[in-house]
Amino acid sequence: MSNILGELMGAIASGGVRIVDLTQTLDTDTPIIPLPEEWAGTKPFTLEEISRYDDRGPAWYWNNFACGEHTGTHFDAPVHWVTGKDYENNTTDTIEPERFIGPAFVIDVAGKVAEDSDFLLTPEYVQEWEKEHARIEADSWVLVRTDWGLRKGDDYLNLSEDGAHSPGFHPDCVPFLAQERDIKGVGVETVGTDAGQAFGFEPAFPCHTLMHGANKFGLASLTNLDKLPPTGSVVIAAPLKIIGGSGSPLRVLALVPGA
């Protein structure tokens, strides 16, 4: 094994590099995105036992599962949005695998979100964060820590009569991250990468519209972002190789420098 990979394996074995799982468990009550009724909705996750060491299969246990591509902790490919539909290699089966791995820049807005469920990350806020930490690198994952992943039950979607109330990106922040910083994509703890009220923004769903319009990715329903340092970790987020896939549930892993 080459030195660099041998050193990495040694560091993982010794705790010098820790693996943090940024994935929520897929369960039958995993929240799915609520869309206004005029639009088709996604299937929730379901699990159906095929056999469990019984007369249906004496020595083996297995299940069928079903869900939408955008269920639970999942990946958004550029083809998911109409603005990203004409890029080459824009589907889960054609994105080059090197693109799934990159350094993570973790912006903590949990305090702001505790005061205001509709908090929107602005380019000014990101630039203040950069002054304190580091400039966001090209081809990086920008992860927004909101502690939303700690919410349980109805508090997660946080639905009111006027729609969901959950944090997201200000429309001006997305071109800043996509063009000025040329990131790989964004990752959030909420059910989707756009704020709960983003159906009414200009443009509607600005993160989907402008991130995928710039051939970038999204990661939704992440958790454990509170376990990551602001800079210095590496995130691996490789979706299932669904033919023509617009996204998929996936396991998202962070490699974090240990003590």
Query: CA nearest 256: which of 4, 5, 8?
Result: 8
105 near ligand 23J (CB under 6 A): no
The one segment of 53-61, 68-76, 121-129, 157-165 that binds Mn ion by CB under 5 A? 68-76
Selected binder of Mn ion within 23, 30, 70, 83 (CB under 5 A): 70
216 near ligand 23J (CB under 6 A): no
194 binds, among Mn ion, ligand 23J, none (CB under 5 to 8 A by kind): ligand 23J
Q: Compute the C-alpha angle 134/138/142, nearest 5°.
A: 65
Residue 119 · residue 169 · CB < 8 Å: no
Query: CA nearest 249: which of 169, 29, 241?
Result: 241
- Cα distances (angstroms) measured from residue 62 to each of 43, 55, 56, 217, 258: 21, 13, 11, 32, 36
252 near ligand 23J (CB under 6 A): no
Pick the catalytic residue: 74, 80, 170, 212?
A: 80
Nearer to ligand 23J, 80 or 170 (CB): 80
Residue 190 · residue 166 · CB < 8 Å: yes
Selected binder of ligand 23J within 22, 33, 211, 254 (CB under 6 A): 33
Helices and strands of the chain, counted as H and E runs: 6, 15
How many residues in the shown chain lie near ligand 23J by CB under 6 A?
Answer: 10
Phi, psi of 14 (to 5 degrees): -90, -5
Nearer to ligand 23J, 67 or 220 (CB): 220
What is the x/- site pattern for ligand 23J, positions 55-74, by CB under 6 A?
A: ---------------x----
Selected binder of Mn ion within 73, 76, 136, 189 (CB under 5 A): 76
What is the x/- site pattern for ligand 23J, positions 153-192, by CB under 6 A?
A: ---------------------------------------x
213 near ligand 23J (CB under 6 A): no
Beta strands in the chain (DSSP E): 17-21, 46-54, 57-66, 74-76, 101-108, 120-121, 141-145, 159-160, 163-164, 168-169, 185-187, 217-220, 233-237, 247-249, 252-257
Active site residue 80: yes
Residue labelled with tokens 């380019």: 123
ω into 97 cis (within 30 of 0): no
Nearer to Mn ion, 145 or 212 (CB): 212
**Least distance in Å: CB of 33 to Mn ion?**
7
Residue 206 · residue 218 · CB < 8 Å: no
**Least distance in Å: CB of 5 to Mn ion?**
32
**Residue 34: both structure tokens together:** 């609520």
**Least distance in Å: CB of 61 to Mn ion?**
30
Q: Please list the active-site residues.
A: 80
Binding site for ligand 23J (CB under 6 A): 33, 35, 70, 76, 80, 192, 194, 205, 208, 220
